[in-house]
Each structure stands twice: as structure tokens, then as C-alpha cells.
Amino acid sequence: MDPNKQHANNPSLPWNLETLDQAVRVFPVADMDEGDIKAIFYEGLPYQGKQTRVFAYYAIPESTLNAKVPGVVLVHGGGGTAFKEWVQIWLDKGYAAIAMDLEGHVGVEKNSDGLRPGHDWSGPSRQGEFADYELPMEDQWMYHAVADVILAHSFLRSFDVVDKDKVGVHGISWGGIVTSIVAGVDERFSFAIPVYGCGYLYEASNKYGQSFAKMPADVAQKMKQTWDPSAYFDRISIPMLWVNWSHDPHFPLHLFSKSYQAAQRGVNHSSLSIHFGLRHSHAAGWKPQEIYTFADQLTRGGLALPQISQQEMIGLRVKVAFASEIPVVKAELRYASNTSNWFEVEWLIKEAYIDNASNEIHAILEEETSAYFIQITDERGCIVSTPVYCFTS
């Protein structure tokens, strides 16, 4: 992709991308700067007829010999904000980074009531799970959240030292939902990493699916086609790393895997990484080493995550073909006999056989298997997973 490429406006999208692609008006907040991390407001889209501003922290690493640096846009989840420490993590790894607050807050700790301070230029705050559907589209939270992420990207690209062809987006929980949409909207990004959040939310049995069920049928259909990430998967053309906890209480594994497969669409280097024992939080969500390995492989030519190229099943025998630049040291079959409740699945373990000569992994399923996937671990400890295969009754 041409690093100087500008958006062509697409009338089928809710957003005017030509507007979001322009230089962003910025208002420094110098008294909140800390070391290399700077605090700003940047101008967002109008909300209820008034102009908005978005609070953010950003940092630009020093470069030597006029070398350009990669970048990342960081998108928080529910209860989160513009996390200074998240920016610092990426800065320490040599990335330009920006984290914005998508709920009209300033990025500081919560007060004794568990609230973060707001500001006078805020846009909408999130109303449950798409509960603001009766408002004009331009006043709904997701409209602004996606736009604010794209504007943050435009701001980061305005720095000469940032390599415009090596900027990614990374979001956690609700930020993963937003990231999954943005990956199909802002074609200037070079990679995307959603954690927990995914698409097909209307198929979930929890609060997400229930929220769609409560809407009038015509409204629910419109929301599916506008705010569910699945509406944008066929537009994605960049590598994505999908990271989730095996027992995430918000985003069930079968819908997460379905999102990965729908968004992959033959794109090289896209991967799925399922983690047992991960838990659900911002700190847990930015911890997996696969996130940083994936970013480095795409922006710096680092050693890549193992790639699963083919998965076959004949009877109870499963064969997975893979490619890896470094040795694969472990393979496991994870299988379940009961998937009636995806939030309480018991994943059992069987060792799988690694054939390094042919770069294949072999496993044998149990008779009563209703769903399975295979985990591959390389010698760095990086994990990649096959899609979750579900047997229909």
C-alpha cells in the first residue's frame, strides 16, 4: 500500500473518511505530560450539534539516523480510559503510540465513587450494548468511537518520524469490538489486534445477543449491518491477530473463532491465539507476548508466529499443516463433549504428535467430541490456535 494513500470516501459507510483523513486539530494539555508521554485533546466529530474533543496520551520515540518508527493506536474497553501505562509499554518497544478515551473522560484514576472525571467537550458515553439505537446515527456511541480511533490514526501519521505504512490498531474488550470494525473501515492501517472483542454479537446468548433481541426487528437488522463487526469483515485486507481467553465471560470462543475465520479471507499472517488462564482485564489483555511478536514481525521483519496453513479431518483423525521460522515444541488437542453453554465449556486435553519432517501435527479425536481446536506452541512460548471446529448434531 502507498504510505501516502488517502481515503476515498465510501457512501455506503456511516463515516466520511475524507474528513477523518485530514489533519487533526490538537489542544495540548501540558500539565498532564509525564516524561516522554504527552497529553492532548484532539477535535472529534460533532455531537448533538456541538463540537467535541477527545482526550489522549501519546508518545513518539526518538529515532536515530532519520530512521522511521512503527506506530500503534490503542483502544480501551469498558471501564477503561486513555491508559498512560499502555502507551509506555509500546514506547519502550520503540513504537509511536496513542491511547484515547472514548467515553468523554480524562485519562486519570477513578475517584472514590469509581468514576473518572469528564470534561466540557465530551461526546457520547457508551449506553450498555447499543442501547442508544433510537438516537440519530451521528449521535450514537459507536459512530463516534470508530471516528475517534481513525482520527487518532490520522494524528499519529502526521509525525514525519512515523512510518505511515507500519501503523496498527490494537483494542481490548469493547476496544476489540471497535478494532474489529476499524480494521475493515480504515484501510491505511497495516495490522490489527483485537483482544476478547469480536463480531456476531447478536448470536451470543449473553447480554450482547439479548440487547439485539430486545430491539424491534427492523432496528436489530440495521444495528447488525451498521455496528456489529461482522458487517465489515469482508472489507478487511490486513493481517489480524485475534487473542482471547478460553473462558472469556463476555465473548464466547465459537463466535470469536468465527470472527477470525470471516475476517481472515486468505490474508497472509493472520492468526488466532487462544489462552487458558488469561482472565479478562486491560492489564491481562495487553500481556500476551504474541501481541508484540505479531507487531514486530509485520513492522520490523521479526521472526513470525507459526502459521497454520491447512486443517483436515478424516474420521476421527485430524491433520494440521503449519509453517514456522523457529521450532514448534508443543502441540495439544483441546476438545469438548458438551458445548450447550459456551461460557462453561470444559476443554479436555490430549497431546498431539508433531511431525517436524513434514511440518504436520496429528491428533485423534474422542468419539463424543462436539468441538475442538489445536494449540501450537513455539520455543519462545508463543501460542497459535486452529479455528474452533464445531460438530453439528
Residue 10: its pLDDT value, please?
A: 54
Rounded to the nearest integer, the mean pLDDT of the chain is: 93
**28 pLDDT tier (thresholds 50, 70, 90):** very high
**140 pLDDT tier (thresholds 50, 70, 90):** very high
Mean pLDDT, to the nearest integer, of 124-138?
A: 91
DSSP state of 137: G
Give me the sign of the Cα torsion angle 139, 141, 146, 147.
Answer: positive
Residue 332: its pLDDT value, please?
A: 97
**112 pLDDT tier (thresholds 50, 70, 90):** low
Residues contacting 173, CB < 8 A, separation 6+: 77, 78, 80, 195, 196, 197, 250, 251, 280, 282, 285
Mean pLDDT, to the nearest integer, of 1-21?
A: 67
To which H or E segment does residue 18 belong? helix 17-20
CA atoms within 13 A on the CB side of 23: 5
What the chain holds in terms of domains, given with CATH numbers, is 17-300 (3.40.50.1820), 307-390 (2.60.40.10)
Residue 3 has pLDDT above 60, yes or no: no
CB 321 within 8 A of CB 309: yes
pTM score, two decimals? Answer: 0.95
Residue 97 has pLDDT above 90, yes or no: yes
Mean pLDDT, to the nearest integer, of 389-393?
A: 81
Largest CA distance in the chain: 65
Q: How far apart (Å, rounded) are the C-alpha atoms in residues 30 and 250?
A: 37
Q: How far apart (Å, rounded) are the C-alpha atoms in residues 228 and 245?
A: 21
Task: List pLDDT tens digits, range 191-230.
Answer: 999 999 999 999 999 999 999 999 999 999 999 999 999 9
**266 pLDDT tier (thresholds 50, 70, 90):** confident
Task: List pLDDT tens digits, range 300-338.
Answer: 999 999 999 888 999 999 999 999 999 999 999 999 999
